[in-house]
Amino acid sequence: MRIAQVSPLIESVPPKLYGGTERIVSYLTDALVSDGHDVTLYASGDSSTLARLRPVCPRALRFDPSQPRPTPYHLLAIEKVMAEADDYDIIHFHHDFLHFPLARRHPIPSVTTLHGRLNIPDVMPLYHEFTDVPLVSISDAQREPVPWMNWQQTIYHGVPDSHLPYDPDGGDHVVFLGRMTPEKRPDLAIRIAREAGLRIRLAAKIDPVDQEWFDTVVKPMLDDPGVEFVGEITESEKGEFLGGALAMLFPIDWPEPFGLVMIESMACGTPVIAFRAGSVPEVIDEGVTGFIVEDVPSAVAAVKRVAELDRRAIRDVFDRRFSVRRMTSDYVELYEHLMATQQNHSGAREHIPAAAGPLPTMTSTVSSVIKQAMSQVNREAPPGVSVQPSGHGRRASNPQTEELESEDQT
């Protein structure tokens, strides 16, 4: 099968540090190549892949010293893949929605995995318009705000079996891994550890948009001798960080689309104590791979029960439910289904009228397409402030200081 994978450009594939979406793109792409498929990856030029790489920009945008705006480069990626669309049997997008107008009109089958939260009022007009575009959700909870979309399947993320080693022993402290942000609530993780009488180690990315919150809320808590903040860690450091812990704390305060760190923790045999929100009840097997809790007191009580859990059983659940082999198989089955469906419909989705004359190219349509899309998306905001297409869309951004952030589920 000839497959194009189109990644966001905020991080490389795989990311050098933090980055959930691009990491999943990497796992899937390399697994498809290993299975004998002909795969082309559209990503930043510093990516490393078994596939054929089509670089869109020299390096991951987050680490580009010029701090470029992401949207023009994501449009460039769409133009590149659509110009070469006839070379593929199917195109798999991992962007949000910029490609929707062209994907719905092109005869080559495509599918989009949405990696972020979907309860954003500003984008609802687009989701009501593009009800025909085939989509994949990464949890059933993720799709709840927009049930009318053309959902093909929920495909849970997977991690390579040998990527994170199983640790049968763990440790005597708890950990937090993710972002320093009010959605992920590292401050609550520290509170839980304090009240449970345990040390806590935190490894996290700090985005510029979250710096003030971190300085105000979290930084004063780091003076506690039982709290250690190690900064943003590399992928090779995750195994020791997660595997050497008694438990991983996940006290989220947002509708988590998936939560990659939960299954990374399971791979190490480390139980997860997570607040009930978003995907958590789908990912955690209560009383087997961890505990689902409602608040800080119930989390403290759960920490004291982790000795009841079998770390080997936790790893076994990971192997059965969240391996990259299972994820890749699910996607291949979906690709085959979409290709067969497209052929049966003679290359056009049923309720989308065929374009008169040649199919539009990005070069000729980008201005009108993006102007129309963004006019529906932009919220009423002060002059100079607009909503940019980002992973979770939680903040408006100024065009001069646009946030460089990946679609995020870790």
Q: Are 342 and 109 in contact (CB under 8 A)?
A: yes
- pLDDT band for 386, please (50, 70, 90 cuts): very low
Domain that holds residue 293: 174-321
| Whole-number Å distance between alpha carbons of 208 and 377 | 23
The DSSP symbol for 142 reads G
| Whole-number Å distance between alpha carbons of 210 and 232 | 14
Q: Is the pLDDT of residue 98 over 50?
A: yes
Closest by Cα among 141, 395, 93, 135 to 259: 141
Q: What pTM was estimated for this model as a whole?
A: 0.84
What pLDDT is attached to residue 393?
37
Q: What is the mean pLDDT of residues 255-267?
A: 97
Q: What angle do CA 123, 12, 48 make, to 5 degrees?
A: 140
Q: Within this chain, do residues 149 and 283 fall inside the same structural domain, yes or no?
A: no
Instruction: Give the domain-ending residue among 283, 303, 321.
Output: 321
Residue 272 lies in a domain: yes
Q: Is the pLDDT of residue 37 over 80?
A: yes
Instruction: Give the domain-ending residue among 273, 293, 321.
Output: 321
Residue 242 lies in a domain: yes
Q: Within this chain, do residues 21 and 107 fall inside the same structural domain, yes or no?
A: yes
Instruction: Give the domain-ending residue among 268, 287, 321.
Output: 321
Q: Within this chain, do residues 355 and 286 fall inside the same structural domain, yes or no?
A: no
Residue 86 lies in a domain: yes
Q: Is the pLDDT of residue 12 over 80?
A: yes
| Whole-number Å distance between alpha carbons of 42 and 56 | 7
Q: Within this chain, do residues 192 and 128 fall inside the same structural domain, yes or no?
A: no
Q: Within this chain, do residues 47 and 143 fall inside the same structural domain, yes or no?
A: yes
Q: Within this chain, do residues 236 and 142 fall inside the same structural domain, yes or no?
A: no
Q: Within this chain, do residues 178 and 86 fall inside the same structural domain, yes or no?
A: no
CATH at residue 89: 3.40.50.2000
Q: Per mean pLDDT, which range of 50-54, 128-132, 182-186, 395-399 is the poorest?
A: 395-399
Mean pLDDT, rounded, of the chain: 86
329-381 tens-digit pLDDT: 999 999 999 999 877 655 444 433 322 333 333 333 344 444 444 444 333 33
Q: Within this chain, do residues 183 and 271 fall inside the same structural domain, yes or no?
A: yes
Virtual torsion, Cα 81, 84, 89, 95, nearest 10 deg? 0
What pLDDT is attached to residue 406?
40
| Whole-number Å distance between alpha carbons of 4 and 93 | 8
Residue 238 lies in a domain: yes
Q: Is the pLDDT of residue 116 over 80?
A: yes
Q: Within this chain, do residues 147 and 203 fall inside the same structural domain, yes or no?
A: no
- pLDDT band for 65, please (50, 70, 90 cuts): confident
Cis peptide before 14 (omega within 30 of 0): yes
Number of domains the chain contains: 2
Residue type, 295: D
Q: Within this chain, do residues 142 and 206 fall inside the same structural domain, yes or no?
A: no
Q: Which helix (H) or strand (E) holds 165?
A: none
What pLDDT is attached to residue 348?
47
- pLDDT band for 235, please (50, 70, 90 cuts): confident
Residue 410 lies in a domain: no
What pLDDT is attached to residue 385?
37
Residue 376 lies in a domain: yes
